[in-house]
């Protein structure tokens, strides 16, 4: 028995450039050695688009422009083949000229009316494929493979719907039946047939085209007629990808699809396949494979009757653009009117294709999607059909939303997998995409929704990430590149690979801003180069940045500034669905009303606001306290050295270092704020104490915190840092005497916070410099260590103590990073 034919289709992308063309010719030679083959070719590169333009030019009467497009089309063919094969392609120019001569004749006739007719357009477009078949056959001959171009109009008999013709199978199969014998004989002689894709002819011989991407359809028909063993579609990607690779960088090829899935995909926007391609394959059971001409070793996608049984298989997302949504809303009175059926048949009668239709549960409202080009016509039809109800006021006049994109998720057996719709809509909601209408196919193979056209990329990326990415993507916009921000950038650069590989987390830096400038890139910025890029950044526009950030999966605003007024930025972030991680204490120490407002905006938006590093850098102080409160413990006293900076200074002066010198060193180590008086004044520690107190529900303001500065307040009046240090030097001796005095009493200087939520006179919060006895836990602090001791009902005998490094860029940045990671962890599975 002879082996069945293998039909190989090469798309325009495989033929319009020298390298893919050379590889395509190699593939043909290899496949021919295996058994009988038949080729189907599309027009080279963008030739069809060029011919569409030529038709339009001719219809305008600009025949010179049309003819110059023919020149370009010819030039592309000659140049591609010559570049691919060199001078071996002799006689090529003549063949090309012969193939396009009738086209030149059409344009040379200069008959505007004739070229404006629908059948003329198809005739003109057909030259792309006709030229291609001749050129590919010639190129094969030039490489020593006997080949013959076949014009598919000799066998593809179609209806007369120009530009979107359907092949009539009965006459087509008869013709193929007759021709197959002849082709089989020729094949035995080593002749390869190169068929034109995309075109056919009516029974009375008028040229038709099968709709854009129609060559796949031709290949499937030819395969059916030849009783082929398989069809391979060669293109410029390694198969059907999980999403359009132009929209989603992380899209990857799907190994296996069922005919049904491919049918849904092609029908709902997978622009690489013609929607009718699947029909002849389903009828004949012939499998199809989609492969990359430049990477023939890649397995590509197989499409067959079974699809994949792998429960963890990837899911495809498509988008169909240039659509319109027409909405008709009803009042209570029309509840039994069942308007959907009437509208559906009226549209069908006038040949307006409807992509999906949803009906209000009681049938008194509908929304349907049509091509944007059909919107006006469809709206008028609907208006006429529902005229009585609209006149009575039972129904509103149709509203048209345009342009709309249909975003579709396709997976066989979707109905058997729980929470697919939930995840789909949650993913869209999370990035703020408004779903205007939706529909889940009765086959449960597809779930479709209509979104505004401008949301297309965001919607597709969000759904793709939710279904197909094993790694969760987290997108950070970092504010501040100072001590903490700078360390965070370093840590993000250093940890990225480990987070990807070991924790399935794709942590991206989407943007960086300081108080004046910003850089942003939706595809991520290399954290190691971010500061350098910021130097050439754009002027800061925080709302514009937040608008861009909110379009990315898991958007997080990270505030590593110490700026005032950031609460308004957070509120704008929450309102846009962005999470916030902050090392900035100020928004938490706001007056009570403003703080309440901030937390209400968090709750309203259902976003996360994490701020562990505002007290004790990366020490788990706030989380510990929250857990005590959450689990019902009663906190009686919180005592701590909350300022790593003042802790460090206390240690330094206690071992004899002059105060001014110790402060200078602390500043250089990045322990202090830019102006050290902000630390020495105690306000920073007071803020931390207040933050903790408020976690306990204490309703006090910063002005209620009793603050005694680390040094006398007159020293804190110097705005100028140098003048401040000069004054501090003058005070060194007095301070040293004070330390000596404490030492004589067996005491050590510490700067302690005390929070008594249930004090005798109501809640109290204080921060004061104090001498503590040798047995006090605070005396054990080294360097910049901070400590917090919680005395509670459960921890009454010995307090629960958290202790460790409490200041410095690296530890604080690590705490911020930990907050970002904890946040992303808590969102998983949502």
Ligand X SMILES: N[C@@H](CC(=O)OP(=O)(O)O)C(=O)O
Ligand Y SMILES: Nc1ncnc2c1ncn2[C@@H]1O[C@H](COP(=O)(O)OP(=O)(O)O)[C@@H](O)[C@H]1O
> Catalytic amino acids?
688
Q: Which H or E element spans position 462?
A: helix 456-468
What is the number of the residue whose Cβ is closest to ligand X? Answer: 12
Tell whether residue 272 is a contact of ligand Y (CB under 6 A). Answer: yes
498-to-486, 493, 811, 828 alpha-carbon distances in Å:
20, 10, 19, 18
Taking every pair of Cα atoms in the chain, the longest distance, rounded to a whole number of angstroms, is 116
Q: Quick one: which of 13, 292, 438, 475 contacts ligand Y (CB under 6 A)?
A: 13
Candidates 11-19, 284-292, 511-519, 802-810; binding stretch for ligand X (CB under 6 A): 11-19
244 vs 639 by CB, closer to ligand Y: 244
3-state class of 539 per DSSP? Answer: strand
115 vs 268 by CB, closer to ligand Y: 268
Q: Quick one: which of 14, 277, 408, 438 contacts ligand Y (CB under 6 A)?
A: 14
Candidates 231-239, 455-463, 478-486, 678-686; binding stretch for ligand Y (CB under 6 A): 231-239
Tell whether residue 270 is a contact of ligand Y (CB under 6 A). Answer: yes
Site string for ligand X, 120-149 (x = CB under 6 A): --------x---------------------
In angstroms, what is the minimal distance from the CB of 268 to ligand X? 17
Q: Pairing relation of β-strands 635-641 and 747-756?
A: antiparallel
In angstroms, what is the minimal distance from the CB of 252 to ligand Y? 10
Tell whether residue 214 is a contact of ligand X (CB under 6 A). Answer: yes
Residues 169-208 that bind ligand X (CB under 6 A): 197-198
3-state class of 285 per DSSP? Answer: coil
In angstroms, what is the minimal distance from the CB of 72 to ligand X? 15
Tell whether residue 589 is a contact of ligand Y (CB under 6 A). Answer: no
Tell whether residue 319 is a contact of ligand X (CB under 6 A). Answer: no
Buried b (16+ CB within 10 A) or exposed e, 163-178: bbbbbebeebbeebee
In angstroms, what is the minimal distance from the CB of 358 to ligand Y? 25
272 vs 615 by CB, closer to ligand Y: 272
Candidates 185-193, 239-247, 559-567, 728-736; binding stretch for ligand Y (CB under 6 A): 239-247
300 vs 486 by CB, closer to ligand Y: 300
For residue 143, the 8-state DSSP code is T
Burial (CB count within 10 angstroms: exposed 0-12, middle 13-18, buried 19+), residue 65: middle
Of 229, 209, 208, 210, whose CA–CA distance to 281 is shortest? 229
216 vs 756 by CB, closer to ligand Y: 216
Q: Quick one: which of 236, 250, 547, 704 contacts ligand Y (CB under 6 A)?
A: 236
Contacts with ligand Y by CB under 6 A: the residue count is: 18
Q: Tokens 């450039």, residue?
A: 17
For residue 828, the 8-state DSSP code is T
Quote the strand ranges of 677-811, DSSP E: 706-707, 747-756, 764-773, 785-792, 800-805
Burial (CB count within 10 angstroms: exposed 0-12, middle 13-18, buried 19+), residue 526: middle
The total number of residues shown for the chain amounts to 830
Q: Angle CA(74)–CA(77)–CA(79) in degrees, nearest 5? A: 105
301 vs 618 by CB, closer to ligand Y: 301
122 vs 785 by CB, closer to ligand X: 122
Candidates 242-250, 341-349, 616-624, 750-758; binding stretch for ligand Y (CB under 6 A): 242-250
- CA dist 239 and 570 (Å) reads 43
Of 197, 239, 194, whose CA–CA distance to 95 is shortest? 194
Tell whether residue 241 is a contact of ligand Y (CB under 6 A). Answer: yes
Tell whether residue 491 is a contact of ligand X (CB under 6 A). Answer: no
Tell whether residue 66 is a contact of ligand Y (CB under 6 A). Answer: no
In angstroms, what is the minimal distance from the CB of 42 to ligand Y? 6
308 vs 803 by CB, closer to ligand Y: 308
Radius of gyration of the chain (CA): 36
Neighbouring-strand partners of residue 765: 755
Encoded tokens for 96? 């090309």
Tell whether residue 43 is a contact of ligand X (CB under 6 A). Answer: yes
6 vs 551 by CB, closer to ligand X: 6
Tell whether residue 215 is a contact of ligand X (CB under 6 A). Answer: yes
Contact status, residue 195 vs residue 215, Cβ threshold 8 Å: no
In angstroms, what is the minimal distance from the CB of 48 to ligand X? 3
Sheet with 446-452: strands ordered across: 356-359, 366-371, 316-328, 399-410, 446-452, 437-440
Q: Quick one: which of 48, 55, 196, 213 contacts ligand Y (CB under 6 A)?
A: 213
Q: Which H or E element spans position 344?
A: helix 339-349
For residue 434, the 8-state DSSP code is P
Q: Quick one: which of 187, 244, 639, 684 contacts ligand Y (CB under 6 A)?
A: 244
Q: Pairing relation of β-strands 366-371 and 316-328?
A: antiparallel
Tell whether residue 41 is a contact of ligand Y (CB under 6 A). Answer: no
Quote the strand ranges of 351-415, DSSP E: 356-359, 366-371, 399-410
Sheet with 747-756: strands ordered across: 706-707, 764-773, 747-756, 635-641, 785-792, 800-805
Residue 43 interacting entry, from ligand X, ligand Y, none, C-beta within 5 to 8 Å by type: ligand X
Contacts with ligand X by CB under 6 A: the residue count is: 13
In angstroms, what is the minimal distance from the CB of 363 to ligand Y? 36
What is the number of the residue whose Cβ is closest to ligand Y? Answer: 11
Tell whether residue 456 is a contact of ligand Y (CB under 6 A). Answer: no
Residues 99-138 that bind ligand Y (CB under 6 A): none
Contact status, residue 104 vs residue 68, Cβ threshold 8 Å: no
Tell whether residue 48 is a contact of ligand X (CB under 6 A). Answer: yes
Tell whether residue 593 is a contact of ligand Y (CB under 6 A). Answer: no
In angstroms, what is the minimal distance from the CB of 301 to ligand X? 16
Residue ranges that bind ligand Y, judged by CB under 6 A:
11-14, 42, 213, 235-237, 240-241, 243-246, 270-272
Residue ranges that bind ligand X, judged by CB under 6 A:
11-13, 42-43, 48, 128, 197-198, 212-215
């Amino acid at each position: 028995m002879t082996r069945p034919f293998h039909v190989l289709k090469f798309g325009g992308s495989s033929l319009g450039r020298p390298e893919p063309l050379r590889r395509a010719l190699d593939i043909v030679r290899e496949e021919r050695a295996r058994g009988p083959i038949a080729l189907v070719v599309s027009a080279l590169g963008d030739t069809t688009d060029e011919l569409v333009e030529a038709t339009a030019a001719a219809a305008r009467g600009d025949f010179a422009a049309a003819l110059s497009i023919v020149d370009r089309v010819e030039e592309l063919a000659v140049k591609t083949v010559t570049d691919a094969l060199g001078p071996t392609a002799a006689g090529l120019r003549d063949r090309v000229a012969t193939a396009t001569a009738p086209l030149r004749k059409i344009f040379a006739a200069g008959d505007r009316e004739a070229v404006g007719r629908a059948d003329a357009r198809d005739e003109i477009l057909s030259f792309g494929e006709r030229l291609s078949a001749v050129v590919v056959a010639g190129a094969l001959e030039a490489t020593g493979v006997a080949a013959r171009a076949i014009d598919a109009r000799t066998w593809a008999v179609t209806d007369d719907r120009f530009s979107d013709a359907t092949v009539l199978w009965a006459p087509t199969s008869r013709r193929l039946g007759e021709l197959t014998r002849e082709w089989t004989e020729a094949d035995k002689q080593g002749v390869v047939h190169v068929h034109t894709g995309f075109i056919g002819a009516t029974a009375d011989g008028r040229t038709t085209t099968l709709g854009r991407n129609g060559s796949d359809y031709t290949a499937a028909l030819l395969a059916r007629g030849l009783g082929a063993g398989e069809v391979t579609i060669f293109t410029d990607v390694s198969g059907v990808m999980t999403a359009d690779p132009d929209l989603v960088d992380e899209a990857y090829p799907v190994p296996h699809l069922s005919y049904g899935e491919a049918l849904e995909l092609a029908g709902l926007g997978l622009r690489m396949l013609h929607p009718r391609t699947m029909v002849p394959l389903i009828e004949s059971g012939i499998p199809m494979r989609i492969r990359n001409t430049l990477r023939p070793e890649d397995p590509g996608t197989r499409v067959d009757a079974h699809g994949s049984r792998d429960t963890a298989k990837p899911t495809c997302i498509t988008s169909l653009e240039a659509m319109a949504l027409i909405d008709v809303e009803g009042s209570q009175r029309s509840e039994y009117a069942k308007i959907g059926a009437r509208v559906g048949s009226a549209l069908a009668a006038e040949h307006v294709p409807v992509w999906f239709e949803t009906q209000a549960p009681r049938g008194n409202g509908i929304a349907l999607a049509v091509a944007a080009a059909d919107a006006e016509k469809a709206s008028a039809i609907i208006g006429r059909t529902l005229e009585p109800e609209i006149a009575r006021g039972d129904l509103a006049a149709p509203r048209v939303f345009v342009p709309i994109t249909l975003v579709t998720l396709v997976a066989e057996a979707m109905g058997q997998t729980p929470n697919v719709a939930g995840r789909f809509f949650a993913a869209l909601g999370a990035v703020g995409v408004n779903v205007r209408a939706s529909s889940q196919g009765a086959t449960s193979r597809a779930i479709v929704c209509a979104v505004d056209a401008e949301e297309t990329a965001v919607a597709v990326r969000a759904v793709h990430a939710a279904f197909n990415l094993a790694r969760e993507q987290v997108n950070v916009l970092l504010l501040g590149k100072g001590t903490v921000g700078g360390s965070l950038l370093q840590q993000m650069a250093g940890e990225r690979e480990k987070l990807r590989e070991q924790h399935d987390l794709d942590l991206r830096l989407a943007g960086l801003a300081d108080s004046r400038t910003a850089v942003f890139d939706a595809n991520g910025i290399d954290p190691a180069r971010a500061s350098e890029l910021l130097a050439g950044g754009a002027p800061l526009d925080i709302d514009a940045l937040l608008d861009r950030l909110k379009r990315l999966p898991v958007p997080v605003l990270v505030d590593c500034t110490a700026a005032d007024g950031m609460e308004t930025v957070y509120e704008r972030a929450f309102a846009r669905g962005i999470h916030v991680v902050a090392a900035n204490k100020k928004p938490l120490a706001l007056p009570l009303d403003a703080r309440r407002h901030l937390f209400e905006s968090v709750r309203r938006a259902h976003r996360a606001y994490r701020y562990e590093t505002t007290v004790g850098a990366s020490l788990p102080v706030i989380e510990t306290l929250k857990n005590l409160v959450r689990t019902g413990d009663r906190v009686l006293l919180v005592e701590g050295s909350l300022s790593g900076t003042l802790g460090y200074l206390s240690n330094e002066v206690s071992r004899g270092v002059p105060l001014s010198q110790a402060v200078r060193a602390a500043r250089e180590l990045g322990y202090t704020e830019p102006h050290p008086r902000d630390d020495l004044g105690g306000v920073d520690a007071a803020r931390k104490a207040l933050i903790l107190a408020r976690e306990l529900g204490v309703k006090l303001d910063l002005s209620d915190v009793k603050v005694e500065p680390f040094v006398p307040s007159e020293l804190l009046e110097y705005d100028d840092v140098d003048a401040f240090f000069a004054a501090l030097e003058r005070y060194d001796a007095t301070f040293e005497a004070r330390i000596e005095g404490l030492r004589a009493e067996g005491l050590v200087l510490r700067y302690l916070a005390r929070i008594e939520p249930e004090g005798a006179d109501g809640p109290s919060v204080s921060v004061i410099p104090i001498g503590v006895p040798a047995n006090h836990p605070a005396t054990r602090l080294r360097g910049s260590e901070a400590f917090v001791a919680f005395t509670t009902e459960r921890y009454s005998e010995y307090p629960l103590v958290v202790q460790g490094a409490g200041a410095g860029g690296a530890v604080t940045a690590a705490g911020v990073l930990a907050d970002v990671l904890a946040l992303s962890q808590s969102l998983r599975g949502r």
